[in-house]
Amino acid sequence: MKFTANQIAEILDGEIDGNENAIVYKLSKIEEGEEGSLTFLSNPKYTSHIYSTKASIIIVNKDFVVENKIGTTLIKVEDAYASFSKLLEFYNEVKLNKTGIESPSFISETAKIGKNLYLGAFAYLSNNVQLGDNVKIYPNVYIGDNVTIGSNTTIFAGAKIYSETVIGENCAIHSGAIIGADGFGFAPSADGIYNKIPQIGNVVIEDNVDIGAATTIDRATLGSTIIRKGVKLDNQIQIAHNVEIGKNTVIAAQTGIAGSTKIGENCLIGGQVGIAGHLIIGNNIRMQAKSGIGKNIKDNEIIQGTPAFGYSDYNKSYVYFKKLPELVVKLNSLEKEIKALKDLS
């Protein structure tokens, strides 16, 4: 896709300083700009690159003043960073604007499909599937029986959506994600054999949720595993049966949440956090990476460590963790001095 400076300026409501017919067809960092690329400048420490970059068009703030000769076209806007982000969003929409049904693919006779469906090759829509408008389902996706998917949701290649799952509007589920697989439910018998407990619930994903690649969300044993509005999940996250995640909570990669734990709203959870089952995690919680959570957490706490405790307490304690070898030497010296004093007495 090619865009002229004039087209970009119209999208961003910007002012052109240079050649309005300059053409770009790719994006780049300012220090790596090449002919035909579009970039931006918002951080002053990268200003020197604007005089050496070979990018064809650069988005800058309106108050930017050119101090040396420049060989590129500028588009001046109120906020270069925000404008570039807007342009990325626009570019992504154009790039992903696929429609039509590719062959081979399978659509059950009982499936109900909204307008402007994109269905990639080898995708499978099972019985009683219901799709809203502008849904995009990429190749090799499996959609199980009785699944409902809201309008403007995209399911990327290779994702698997098990039966009874409900997915809201404006969601993105990335490649390799598995939604609705059985929860890890087994009951030991007297002879030590683990018998499977049927998992007959489902997964409910509300609107505006992003689910990263290779993330798994298990169906509930009974009831629903629930991902509330605006939740953002990174790649390779495990969410167990009957978990509930509150709206606008963000979770980084490789975090695992055990069954029946309830997580509040607006939480930020770092990578590789482990959360035990049947816990209540409050609202506005901050969990530092690699923390191990084994107890309920009240609202507004910042925690770290394994087992996790208060972030400020952890930092104070860490000072002593680092000094342990030195403290051991001092302790041994004191013990010798005390023994020597006892011997004298």
* DSSP annotation string for 87-129: HHHHHHHHHT---EE-SS-EE-TT-B--TT-EE-TT-EE-TT-
49 by DSSP, 3-state: which? Answer: helix
- The burial class, CB within 10 Å (0-12 / 13-18 / 19+), for 305 is middle
> What per-residue confidence (pLDDT) applies to 341?
80
**In the prediction, which pLDDT does 316 show?**
78
> Between the CA atoms of 75, 76, 79 and 81, what dihedral angle is there, to the nearest 10 degrees?
30
Distances (CA, A) of 279 to 122, 156, 254: 41, 32, 19
The pLDDT value given to residue 205: 98
Q: How far apart are CA 2 and CA 77, in angstroms?
A: 21
Q: What is the pLDDT of residue 333?
A: 87
Please tell me the pTM assigned to this model. Answer: 0.80
Digit-coded pLDDT (tens) for 23-68? 999 989 999 999 999 999 999 899 999 999 999 999 999 999 888 8
Rg of the chain in Å (alpha carbons): 27
What SS3 state is found at 230? coil
Instruction: Give the pLDDT score at 331.
Output: 86
180 touches 218 (CB < 8 A): yes
- Take residue 321 and report the two structure tokens written for it: 């963790």
Q: From residue 334, how far is each of 174, 238, 323, 326, 341 by CA, in Å?
A: 60, 50, 16, 12, 11
CA distance linking residue 327 with residue 174, whole number of Å: 50
Verify whether residue 241 is a known catalytic residue: yes
Which one is catalytic: 49, 174, 241, 278?
Answer: 241
> Token pair of 98, please?
């696929």
- All residue ranges of the chain with pLDDT < 50 are none
pLDDT at 95: 76
> Distance between the two ends of the chain, CA-based, in angstroms?
91
* Domains and their CATH numbers in the chain: 3-95 (3.40.1390.10), 100-313 (2.160.10.10)
328's torsion region: left (phi>0), alpha (psi -120 to 50) or beta? alpha
Q: Give how far Cα 34 sits from Cα of 41, 68, 88, 146, 208, Å.
A: 15, 19, 18, 50, 36
